Amino acid sequence: MSYTGPGFDPPRPPRSRRRPLTVALAALVPGALLGWAVYAAVGGPGDEEGQAGVSASASASARTPSPSAGSASPSGGPGDGKPDASSPASAPGPSGPLRGKVVVIDPGHNPGNFRHAGEINRQVDIGTNRKECDTTGTSTNDGYTEAEFTLDVAHRMRTLLEKQGATVKLTQDADRPFGPCVDERARIGNKAEADAVVSIHADGSGTGNRGFHVILPGAVNAGAADTRPVVGPSRELGERIAGTFVRVTGSAPSNYVGGGTGLVTREDLGGLNLSTVPKVFIECGNMRDSKDAALLSSGAWRQKAARGISGGIVSFLRGQGSAH
């Protein structure tokens, strides 16, 4: 979700894929993230929304994937665990531990945003101040876009969570020209009275910056924003997602934000500020680092990412019992 600045590069010609990093990790004490013990074994040569977002420029261009979960996605194809895409909302499964629970998945950045610079640059109220409606997102140096990545992971998560009996809604499924804006993304989760909302992203930080981090809402009470009732449950949701994500994917927490915890608290994101239900963001890795990019571009790894995030949601909702 971080961007490279006003000179955001258009997708570059594909390069050969590199072998992904394999990282083994243990240890989340139930209900709280107390520490990480990371041991890495590198399988290849060489070794956020970040600190400054960028608006779309009229000259930006990118490939536009179809609403299908896997169109134009690297490393796709038979055997990569890729589910079929369907409509943005799903009916609850016939049975399962999450029957009666509502999960909203927010795939960051519509793939059509590149063609609608004026619309997504429009300022919207996020409580603390005003920000752009949305941005284009980032991409790997090979041209695999964040918007493609987030939709693919969202589709995989939807399949997994439906099997647990949950009702799953997507804020967008490449089924609209652009957006929704960040304020509307928050309203979708609020209107659904979601038990949990997760916004899926990939970062665009500098080379050598690696790993994932989960963004938690800070305590905001300004204008239309009042996160105080959901700060606690959102932190629990984020901690559980971080714990399962590191265990399932083998990816380490970010080495550039969060102090090695994989958790970052922010008060400047409209999607969190305006939420009245438990919500977090996850930056699954850094698209601008070649090794993280190799993971994010892998269909098999995206399935692990979907399992890790979904597993954290399941753990959180089962721990909530009949709450919400």
Active site residues: 283
Query: CA Rg, the chain, in Å?
Result: 18
50 contact partners, CB below 8 Å, separation of at least 6: 1, 2, 3, 203, 204, 205, 257
- Which amino acid type is present at position 280? V
- Which amino acid type is present at position 126? I
Sort 141 into a burial class: Cβ within 10 Å, 0-12 / 13-18 / 19+.
Answer: middle
CA distances from 279 to 27, 199, 247, 303 (A): 23, 8, 21, 22
Which residues of the chain form beta strands (DSSP E)?
22-26, 37-41, 102-107, 123-125, 130-132, 167-170, 196-203, 213-217, 221-222, 225-226, 263-266, 279-286
Contact by Cβ (8 Å): 292, 141 = no
Q: What is the DSSP string of 159-197?
A: HHHHHTT-EEEES-SS-SSS---HHHHHHHHHHTT-SEE
